[in-house]
């Protein structure tokens, strides 16, 4: 109950702290003059071959096309500007059947058959004072403790309040209070917010935090969240870029999460610390990244999920295409190589490959009952990703992108049963955003 009053109080304190000069804000463009309308088309082919899924589905393959109309208004003129954000989406089945569904591109009916099409619409009301914005409705927040993601045809949406303030160019302050959500392949506007790996529902999520850029190339952030009756989670992040010369640079990153059970402990006891550190060296068209990640605790590091799809509120370095390398007591290493082919005469074309290996997976000391699958002890796994991406740079098809993503994962038997079965997968994603207003 205590948290229930914190969000309105935070709004009041923020508004009260604005100076008269800040309250004057920047000249408003106007509700219609500041409007923006974008039609994004996304074509998605998903193939996954499961290698060790005894008694389960071993082959998933679907092809779908999505159209998303996204409208963002300007603000009415005056001290308090009023506006609206709205969207409407249409998903179409191009190829799938009951034997091959399960990629989360398409919803399925009660008989397990993929739907031929599905639609959804939503909106959010927004208020602006100076450079601070309060929203209520369907939204897609993106931060380290509550991020909705965009890994399938459409982005999952959350329903609730959010507050974001940029009164200073180098500082973002934000807070949120959300009570429902829905998958990107769902038409249910009041679905569940969940702990993804525990698969337990929470009735309410609250978060607050800041993202600060004290100097060029340096970023610091801190967030805290509460998933009611599941956990409290805190986050610290830092990154720093050092330019060695015009062609070379070093970039360092650090992320830390601390999660403890809360309230009725719907997911059981949770006492987990997860962190990652990364170093990236870039020279001209080439970049090499080395990352290390550790989880300390007898439960996996968990984060936001919806009815079926995951969110993206995991900013750990080794959270990659398929796996998060977030199992109990897991430690993992990543080696990644990026190549920008623009210097070789192909602007817009990029290549990436990475290999991540995790070991020391062990939840044998887990105490008491809980909602998490059991990973066993002495578990190991690895993932290899390859990605090729091209973005059209000019002409009538400007900004059209084509992405090919291939991944392979292998795990010891108990880890595969608890998390993700060994598989090889291919994703082909074609996206074309067209600004209409």
Catalytic residues: 177, 229, 313
**Closest-CA residue to 328 (of 286, 276, 273, 285):** 273
Question: Is residue 61 classed as helix, strand or coil in its secondary structure?
Answer: strand
**CA dihedral sign of residues 265, 266, 268, 269:** negative
Three-state SS annotation for 316-367: CCCCCCCCCCCCCCCEEEEEEEEEECHHHCCCCEEEEEEEEEEEEECCCCCC
**Closest-CA residue to 332 (of 364, 290, 302, 298):** 290
State the virtual CA torsion across 100, 105, 111, 117 in degrees, nearest 10: -120
Residue 368 CB neighbour total at 10 angstroms: 7
Sheet with strand 193-195: strands edge to edge: 200-202, 193-195, 304-305
Q: What are the structure tokens assigned to 423, written together?
A: 């598989």
Asked whether the beta carbons of 119 and 106 are under 8 A apart, the reply is no
**Closest-CA residue to 331 (of 277, 278, 294):** 294
Distances (CA, A) of 84 to 14, 172, 307: 21, 21, 27
Asked whether the beta carbons of 381 and 408 are under 8 A apart, the reply is no
Could you tell me the end-to-end alpha-carbon distance of the chain, in angstroms, rounded to an integer? 43
Q: How far apart are CA 59 and CA 66, in angstroms?
A: 23
**Closest-CA residue to 162 (of 186, 196, 138, 129):** 138
């Amino acid at each position: 109950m205590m948290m229930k009053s914190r969000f309105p109080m935070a709004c009041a304190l923020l508004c009260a702290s604005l100076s008269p000069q800040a309250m004057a804000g920047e000249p408003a463009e106007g509700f219609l003059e500041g409007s923006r309308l974008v039609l994004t088309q996304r074509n998605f082919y998903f193939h996954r071959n499961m290698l060790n899924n005894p008694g389960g589905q071993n082959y998933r393959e679907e092809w779908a096309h999505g159209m998303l109309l996204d409208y963002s208004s300007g603000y009415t003129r005056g001290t308090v500007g009023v506006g609206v954000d709205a969207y409407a989406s249409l998903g179409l089945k191009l190829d799938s059947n009951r034997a091959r569904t399960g990629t989360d591109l398409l919803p399925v009916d009660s008989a397990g058959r993929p739907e031929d099409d599905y639609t959804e619409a939503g909106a959010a009301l927004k208020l602006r004072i100076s450079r601070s914005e309060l929203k209520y409705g369907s939204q897609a927040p993106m931060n380290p403790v509550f991020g909705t993601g965009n890994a399938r045809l459409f982005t999952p949406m959350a329903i609730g309040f959010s507050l974001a303030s940029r009164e200073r160019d180098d500082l973002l302050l934000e807070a949120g209070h959300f009570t429902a959500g829905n998958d990107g392949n769902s038409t249910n506007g009041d679905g569940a917010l969940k702990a993804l790996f525990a698969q337990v529902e929470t009735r309410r999520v609250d978060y607050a935090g800041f993202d600060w850029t004290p100097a060029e190339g340096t970023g610091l952030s801190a967030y805290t969240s509460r998933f009611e009756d599941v956990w409290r989670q805190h986050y610290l992040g830092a990154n720093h870029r050092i330019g060695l010369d015009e062609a070379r640079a070093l970039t360092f990153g650090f992320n830390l999460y601390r999660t403890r059970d809360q309230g009725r402990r719907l997911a059981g006891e949770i006492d987990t610390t997860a962190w990652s550190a990364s170093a990236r060296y870039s020279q001209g068209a080439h970049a090499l990244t080395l990352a290390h990640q550790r989880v300390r605790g007898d439960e996996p590091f968990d984060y936001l999920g919806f009815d079926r799809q995951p969110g993206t509120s995991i900013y750990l370095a080794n959270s990659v295409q398929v796996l998060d390398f977030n199992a109990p007591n897991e430690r993992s290493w990543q080696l990644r190589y990026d190549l920008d082919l623009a210097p070789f005469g192909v602007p817009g074309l990029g290549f990436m490959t990475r290999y991540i290996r995790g070991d020391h997976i062990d939840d044998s000391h887990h105490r008491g009952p809980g909602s998490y699958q059991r990973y066993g002890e002495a578990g190991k796994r690895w993932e290899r990703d390859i990605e090729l991406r091209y973005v059209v740079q000019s002409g009538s098809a400007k900004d059209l992108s084509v992405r090919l993503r291939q991944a392979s994962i292998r795990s010891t038997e108990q880890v595969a049963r608890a998390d993700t079965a060994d598989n090889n997968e291919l994703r082909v994603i074609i996206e074309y955003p067209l600004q209409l207003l």
